[in-house]
Amino acid sequence: MLGTKRLVVAAAEKPPYKSEWRRRELSSHAHVPGANDEVETPEVISRRQWMANATIAISGVIGLTLAIPIVGSLVPDVGAGGATWTPLDENGWKQLQSATDKAVRIDINLKSKDAYLPEQSSPQSVWGIKVKDPQKFSRDRSDLFTPAGKDMLPYPIVTLGFVLFSPICPHLGCYYNYNAAANKFQCPCHGSQFDQNGSHIAGPAARGLDPLPLREQSGIAQCEWIRYAPTIPNRLVVSYTA
């Protein structure tokens, strides 16, 4: 009987098979959840998911908030709201109305709004001429009219019998002067010259003077300020600010 008991004890103390050793070894390295560990319950998973969704939503709102003004600032402010009608100085307008064949400089207080900056105003001036013979004018300024006499710009070039010119030289953007004795416009920078109708007659400019929109509203003459691209024969709008 004693011999049998020894055999039973020996069997109980016999080392486990290799696979059993391996299982014990793995389980000894297995992570045992501690007090600070979150247990992956469905509640924890849904909380995590909620946090992820909230992060995405907040990022989206921030991205949208930044994207709208950035994209908006890249879009040229044209058409409605692009150019702003600016009143002409009353005295200058009266001078132009009573002018004969001389150009008249008319002051304006140009209001402009650029992107998100508050509206600004700057003293500017435009040149005005009286057009006695619109047909002759359209022939002389063939860069502004079709052969049939239609305006090539998206606004009337001759309004109320007058034409306003931007004071900016179409060569490289200097402000030109008017020589009353010679009845022509001259640019001090590189010598471009334009006749009384604004036609290019000398110097490096690639086109004649640029006409600006003009209208009369409630008895007040107003113009729009447009800056066209310099150096090229065509008129491409680059801004509505000075």
Binding site for ligand FES (CB under 6 A): 169, 171-174, 187, 189-192, 203-205
Decide whether 167 or 213 has the Cβ nearer to ligand FES: 167
Pairing of strands 104-112, 211-212: unpaired
3-state secondary structure of 43: helix
In whole angstroms, the minimum distance from the beta carbon of 193 to ligand FES comes to 9
In whole angstroms, the minimum distance from the beta carbon of 171 to ligand FES comes to 3
Decide whether 50 or 175 has the Cβ nearer to ligand FES: 175
- Enumerate residues 6+ apart whose C-beta is below 8 A from 157: 141, 144, 145, 151, 163, 211
In whole angstroms, the minimum distance from the beta carbon of 187 to ligand FES comes to 3
Contact 223, 126 (CB under 8 A): yes
In whole angstroms, the minimum distance from the beta carbon of 154 to ligand FES comes to 25
Q: Distance between CA atoms of 96 and 163, rounded to whole angstroms?
A: 10
> How does DSSP assign 216-235, residue by residue?
EETTEEEEE--EEPSSSSS-
Decide whether 187 or 223 has the Cβ nearer to ligand FES: 187
In whole angstroms, the minimum distance from the beta carbon of 161 to ligand FES comes to 28
Decide whether 130 or 200 has the Cβ nearer to ligand FES: 200
DSSP label at residue 101 = S
Contact 192, 204 (CB under 8 A): yes
| Count of CA atoms in the C-beta half-sphere (13 A) of 220 | 9
